[in-house]
Structure 1
Amino acid sequence: MKIWTSYGAEHSLNLVIIGHFKDAIEAEEFESLVSSLTNFLVNDSDFDVDSDRFSSGMLDYLGKKNLFCLSPQQLGQLLYDMRLEREENKIVISSDDDLNALTSLLIHSGAKVEMFSAHDHPHEEHGR
């Protein structure tokens, strides 16, 4: 008889990212950008999550959007499970994964960014 022993731990970040924009129009444009980019990755591109280079189609798309702030690995993060909500001039993103791609996009789009773990700050108001 073999006995297998293992240890586990919760690796969930319970990450909250809040982007504060100057006005609601900028927040809406950011929400649209993330939606458009995610839809392109899922439906219209030959994007390979494991690649360390962009395909020519992906480079064309990113060039049209003027997005040169993300690596191929970061783009793959847009396919992770996350929740994005817009509330006037504020974007609230929550996920159990590290989403530094969205932090980069928020900064690139002109937002003031807050990040915290809802495990450590459950009392923080974060759009819910």
Structure 2
Amino acid sequence: MKIWNSYGSEHSLNLVIIGSFKEEHEAEAFEQLTEKVTRFLSENSEFDVEADRFDRKTLDFLGKENLFSLTPQQLGHLLYDVHVSRHGKEVRISSDDDVNAFISLLIYKGAKVEVFSAHDYPENEEV
């Protein structure tokens, strides 16, 4: 007989990331970039989020997009359950996971970034 003990925790960050760009076209370009990268990663069977280095196909793709600031683990954040929406010059990202890759990408693309927990700051309430 085998006995298995495990521990876990149910957690939800309820994280909200808001990136504010100077121009609306920059926010639109960011939204399109995240969609393009996510689509590539989900279709690329060679991408390994646990790898120390990028595979050749991913490295070529990142080079074409001029994206060199993320590790494979961070790039994998784009595959998490994330909701990205754009309203004018603002991009809003929400997730229950730690998705710091989006923060890095927003800063890299020139956005002013705000990060908070919707548990502590519900968006439908006045603060």
Provide the C-alpha distance between the structure 2 equivalents of 1:24 and 1:122, rounded to a whole number of angstroms: 26
Q: What letter matches 2:22 in structure 1? A: K
1:26 matched to 2:26: yes
Instruction: Give the secondary-structure state (helix, strand or coil) at the position aligned to 1:120.
Output: coil
Tell me how far 1:25 sits from its aligned partner.
0.2
Provide, for residues 11-54 of structure 1, a one-character-per-residue CA deviation record: whole Å limited to 9, x for no partner.
10000000000011000000000000000001145101221110
- 2:99 matched to which residue of 1? 99
Provide the C-alpha distance between the structure 2 equivalents of 1:60 and 1:7, rounded to a whole number of angstroms: 40
Structure 1 residues 72, 9: CA separation in 2 closer, same or farther (over 3 Å shift)? closer
Instruction: Give the secondary-structure state (helix, strand or coil) at the position aligned to 2:84.
Output: strand
Instruction: Give the secondary-structure state (helix, strand or coil) at the position aligned to 1:78.
Output: helix
1:16 matched to 2:10: no
Structure 1 residues 26, 93: CA separation in 2 closer, same or farther (over 3 Å shift)? same
- 1:59 matched to which residue of 2? 59
Task: Name the % identity.
Answer: 62
Provide, for residues 72-111 of structure 1, a one-character-per-residue CA deviation record: whole Å limited to 9, x for no partner.
0001111000100000000000000001000000000000
TM-score for the superposition, normalised by structure 1: 0.87
Provide the C-alpha distance between the structure 2 equivalents of 1:27 and 1:41, rounded to a whole number of angstroms: 21
- 1:36 matched to which residue of 2? 36
1:89 matched to 2:89: yes
Provide the C-alpha distance between the structure 1 equivalents of 2:47 and 2:115, rounded to a whole number of angstroms: 28
Paired residue total: 121
- 1:46 matched to which residue of 2? 46
Structure 1 residues 31, 8: CA separation in 2 closer, same or farther (over 3 Å shift)? same
- 1:114 matched to which residue of 2? 114
Tell me how far 1:124 sits from its aligned partner.
6.5
- Cα RMSD of the aligned pairs, angstroms, is 1.9
Provide the C-alpha distance between the structure 2 equivalents of 1:81 and 1:58, rounded to a whole number of angstroms: 21
Q: Are the equivalent residues in 2 in contact too, given 1:45–1:58 (CA < 8 A)?
A: no
- 2:3 matched to which residue of 1? none
TM-score for the superposition, normalised by structure 2: 0.88
Instruction: Give the secondary-structure state (helix, strand or coil) at the position aligned to 1:60.
Output: helix
